A and B are shown apart, each in its own frame.
Chain A
């Protein structure tokens, strides 16, 4: 049930955000500070999410095979690999390191 509540809230919230941009008069959100904050907010969220989903398990910090996978993804990104290759590299390296028993 909790999952459905989360899905409902996210769906409603995200849809409203999409709609607001199309409906409000042009210029309303064009203030420079608002624009800059809007550009930086995803940076902060994505950075925190990347770190947490790589280095945490059940509320504590851990270092496991996912770190190697993320490093592989970073290398793929530096090499300008396509999106799916980046994700594939992370998955493959994580699986490989786990298979080695780490």
Chain B
């Protein structure tokens, strides 16, 4: 589910009202493309040894793709449920930051928020942030969320059933679907040297610690690459003030910065 969707475009306050139909079209496009990748999740989850009910429960209740793939991967590798869930949880923390952006943009009534929260994911955020008005953002969020939720769950079911019919999923190369999904999610994030350094260190930690630590733990240890790189950069920046710091920061902070720059 698709962190690979285009980053939120800059909102221009001068843009005229966007017709609802145009917003719905955008939202459906994202929802359909990404919803279909639920098929890959269903196959991967079944291939990892999870039952049909377990696979469907994940898509229904977790509904954030990267965390779902991470969880079934960790369980397949023999990780205990707590380390497996911890990895999935850390991947899901970014949704809290999406929620912050959406909370201001959508201005939802308090009673609606617990329901809307389930749909706070990469794609709904990308579509909502790309809209020129609150009304369009609400329509975009709702249509993307609904389309994705329905399709993601239907395709998860079909994928899991398909995998059972296929038998040995590895013979069909389906064990490569998980890592390919992660790579597709990761690629658009590698914008500056900071991200690339973080990814490189995380790969080294993840692979280097794999033979020596219990399953699931090396991924969590690899997550330390993020604070480590930030700390090293902070030290370098204070050693050589000014200069490169500003440009680097702009690319790094993600969607928010674009808006700041446009002001």
* A residues with CB within 8 A of B: 2-7, 9-11, 13-15, 17-24, 26, 28-30, 32-33, 35-56, 58-61, 65-66, 69-70, 73-74, 77, 82-84, 86-87, 89-98
Q: Flag if B61 contacts A11 (CB, 8 Å).
A: yes
Q: Flag if B62 contacts A10 (CB, 8 Å).
A: yes
Q: Flag if B186 contacts A47 (CB, 8 Å).
A: yes
Helix, strand, loop or mixed for chain B's interface? helix
With A13-B85, A52-B210, A83-B33 known to touch, is A47 a contact of B222 (CB < 8 Å)? yes
Q: Flag if B61 contacts A7 (CB, 8 Å).
A: yes
Q: How far is the CA of A74 from the CA of B184 in the complex (A)?
A: 8
Q: How far is the CA of A66 from the CA of B64 in the complex (A)?
A: 24
* B residues with CB within 8 A of A: 2-4, 33-34, 36-37, 40, 50-51, 54, 57-58, 61-64, 66-71, 73, 75, 77-78, 80-82, 84-85, 87-104, 108, 113-114, 116-118, 120-121, 170-187, 189-190, 194-195, 198-203, 205-207, 210-211, 215, 218-219, 222-227, 229-230, 249, 252-254, 256
With A50-B179, A50-B182, A52-B210 known to touch, is A21 a contact of B100 (CB < 8 Å)? yes
Q: How far is the CA of A98 from the CA of B175 in the complex (A)?
A: 12
Q: Flag if B93 contacts A41 (CB, 8 Å).
A: yes
Q: Flag if B207 contacts A14 (CB, 8 Å).
A: no
User: Can you name 13 A-B residue pairings with CB atoms under 8 Å?
Assistant: A2-B81, A10-B88, A11-B58, A19-B114, A22-B120, A29-B96, A35-B253, A45-B90, A49-B219, A69-B179, A87-B40, A90-B183, A94-B175
Which residues does chain A contribute within 8 Å of B224, judged by CB atoms?
Answer: 44
Q: How far is the CA of A14 from the CA of B57 in the complex (A)?
A: 14
Which residues does chain B contribute within 8 Å of A90, judged by CB atoms?
Answer: 173, 176-177, 179-180, 183
Which residues does chain A contribute within 8 Å of B181, judged by CB atoms?
Answer: 87
Q: How far is the CA of A52 from the CA of B253 in the complex (A)?
A: 27
Q: How far is the CA of A73 from the CA of B169 in the complex (A)?
A: 18
With A43-B198, A49-B70 known to touch, is A6 a contact of B219 (CB < 8 Å)? no
With A21-B100, A54-B179, A93-B173 known to touch, is A47 a contact of B203 (CB < 8 Å)? yes
